[in-house]
Structure 1
Amino acid sequence: MKKYAIVCFYTASKGGNGAAEVSLGVLNAIKSNKKLFEINDQNIKLDFIRFFFKFTCIIKFVFKIKKYFKNVKKKIIIIEGASWVGYSFLFFILCKIFIKKIIVIYHSHNIEYDIRKKKNKNIIIISLTKYFEKLIFKFSNFATVVSKVDQKRIKQLYNLKSYILENGININRLKKRKPKFKLPKKYYMFIGSYWFTPNKEAIDLLIEKIYPKIKKKFPKYKLIITGEGFPTKKEKKNEIIYFKNVSKKSLNYIISKCGFLLFPLKKATGTKLKVIECLA
């Protein structure tokens, strides 16, 4: 008998963002003997409190998973790599110490070092990220990336082998439901949380450079932005319609009715699930 433990250091079960949807895709692809372990830290505002909260959750996860794997011959842990890789590596080490004979798959969503290098000016965090990422790619039984671009980047950075596990979509996650709130007659969209650096860069570019030109040429079209973390000052100043928390079915409906979508993303690792979903 074999069992799977899918581990996320964020909330995945509700979906609604790229990382969660990818993790749900992995969970749904496994037919049986599976369990999702996730952390809900969405209401924690301070970074240092969030760090210690995740640290304690990681320790608890190890012993919960050990109990879950009791009397199981084949124990497979899938670490969803969409959080800081330091959490993943800490969890990996603790699992190796306390749980015997496990198979660990590190499922990277991006190249974490490249993301942190853009997002964080702290050289210590950047260096630790690179160090931990190299180790988890080296010592996991299997380490996956989402594209050939990421595979080449891992080889370039760490001279290590990785396996390509491309992102896909679950057709059942594309069901639509009309939201209760009113939508403008004509609109276009950007989908993505502002706290994620590539999205932040794209949204800032959209608002500062692209949005004024579209507004001038197509004044009847409104811009809708969905996702977490968008500053309310930017929303009010630019007359943008912002939806922070939209259910997956409602989001699918809004997408289906919009005139077009804009994703002015600069070069970044990973693949953009929202683009795949919008094309489906």
Structure 2
Amino acid sequence: MPRADTGALRALDDVRERRHGKRHHSRAGVAVSQGSGRAAVVTGAARGIGAGCAADLAARGFAVALLDVDGESAERVAQSMRSTGAEAYAFQCDVTSSAGVRDTFDEIVSRLGPLGAAVNAAGINVARHAVTELDDDEWSRMIAVNLTGVMHCLREEVRLMRRAGGGSIVTIGSILSTVAYPRAAAYIATKHAVLGLTRSAAIDYAAESIRVNLVAPGHVRTDFGTEEMTAQKEAALAATYPRGAIAEVHDISALVGFLCSDEARNITGSCYTTDGGYTAH
């Protein structure tokens, strides 16, 4: 079996360090476990932002299902979470398969209980081209994973949250959900579309206590691209951000965790940009 993704394990360690010994409290000061008795689903959970979100939700008391097309790596992350006492289970799942997504979600609620939170973090960026350079296969693959895959998951999440009486869904977008840069036509198209899908779902299901939001990160320090990311290149990239630093996974997962909590009950249909001020100039 392959080694667990080191970025995923770093994300878990970061969440553990920040949350060690901490419990969430109600306004009355009584310690509570926000996700107690409820399941959370995270797609793209074998590494990076997805793994960090899974750890954050587990720390909030959810029983977490880690979904990824790479089931073995997802299991490694789940094992690491379980070693700290978290309730975490890995499921191999290809989000481009409608039937596969439905079967996996049904298995999750049968094993873990009603669905209270979901994070759609699965995504790819395999076509860094302008429109005239794209071929149909690249375009179709990006649409299948980044847009249709999110739709497949949203459909099942809403179905199961209706049964549970409500819940919170967060999709991981990008700063490219609202802006653009050169030679990323397919990726930008999918991320813009996912923001529209998020807002549409938020309006459609708000009256049923189902909240749907999008988190739009800038660059995040994960294992994606680290083989090419020298210290000099990272410093140059960080300098393009007003904050002067690249985000850590926890910077994203903490926001996602909040949006999945009861404290965010009035927030739906929103796009939260977390980019150290990058898109402000």
TM interval, shorter chain, is 0.3 to 0.5
Which TM-score applies when normalising by structure 1? Answer: 0.42
Which TM-score applies when normalising by structure 2? Answer: 0.42
Please identify the structure whose Cα radius of gyration is greater. Answer: 1
